[in-house]
Every structure is written in structure tokens, then in C-alpha cells.
Amino acid sequence: MKKLLKYSGFISLVLVVVAFILMMATNAIVVGSGSLQLVTKGTVAIFGETTSTLLGDVKTNPSVLALLAWIFILAGLVIVLLGIILPLLKVHALEKFAGVLNLVAVLLFVVAGVFMFIVVPTFYAANNADVPNNAAIGVGWVIGGILAIAGGVFAILPAAADFLAKK
């Protein structure tokens, strides 16, 4: 168990980096099936997009929760990196601060993972459209949400073990 705790920060970091890559590189929303699929890329769900057409510019608004999930994952990655680096400095006060940072990272990762699961209704609400009956979240976003929550669980392991050891 101690070996797992030693590397839990790195495991958390890897899981959330993969979740971040899936969030950016895969489709957030899939409407339809087979060859008649209409997809919304993850970057469009996060940042929006303006497309030029013959009839003028068409603006797609981003999902606020998708943008928040993106920000939370980035902030959590920075916090986990700090949580990994601070104990290496061998300053006792900083080690306790690293535990608090891990707890903040847990919250950020879990909330980001949950936000990734509810991107479909928030995206259509941001664009003042009804959610189609056959709209679904993309597989990459489902896996990314699971990995973000799992990264949060691994980030809390050292703090939880410290807490349990003191009881």
C-alpha cells in the first residue's frame, strides 16, 4: 500500500492528463447514428466557434460547464504538480500544505468529471436549441470524465492515509 501511496500523485497526474487530451481531441456530442452522425468537437463545446457560410457567420456558443471543466482540470493539474514537488523540498510546513493542495485537486477533478457528463444539455441551452432525442455524449468525454474522477480518487489517497494513520 505504501508503494501505491508513493506514486499516487503521478498516477493521478497521468489519469487527468489523459482525460484532458480526450476532452480536447474527441467529440463531445454525437447526434444520430451510423453514417448520419452530426458531431460537436470537444474544442467547440469548450470554446465555441464562428463558422463562415454563404449566409453569413454562424456563431456556436460554448457550454459554460464544459469550459469550467476545462479550467478545473488545468488548475487541478497545476495543483497536483505542486503537491508532488513541495514534499520533495523537505520543508515540513510545505508537506502539510501539499496535503491541502491534494484535497483541492480532488474537488476540482471530481467536479470537472461530473461537468463532463452533463455537457449535452448545457451546450444546447447555451445555443438556445432543444436537445435532440438522439443526442448523446461522446465516448471520449465519458472516458475522460471517468478518468478525471479516478484521478481525484488517486489524489486523495495520501491525505486519506495520513488522516487514518493519525486516528
Burial of residue 67, with CB atoms counted within 10 A of its CB: 0-12 exposed, 13-18 middle, 19 or more buried: middle
pLDDT at 123: 92
Full-model pTM? 0.86
Residue 51 bridge partners (DSSP): 58
Q: What is the pLDDT of residue 67?
A: 94
Q: Please tell me the predicted confidence (pLDDT) of residue 95.
A: 66
**Low-confidence residues of the chain: pLDDT under 50:** none
- One-letter identity of residue 43: T
Are 43 and 34 contacting, i.e. CB atoms less than 8 angstroms apart? no
Domain boundaries defined on the chain: 12-25+61-158
Q: How far apart are CA 72 and CA 106, in angstroms?
A: 10
Output the pLDDT for position 57: 79
Q: Shortest CA distance to 9 belongs to which of 69, 141, 99, 107?
A: 99
| Per-residue confidence (pLDDT) for residue 154, from 0 to 100 | 86
pLDDT, tens digit, 9 for 90 and up, residues 52-92: 777 777 888 999 999 999 999 999 999 888 877 777 777 66
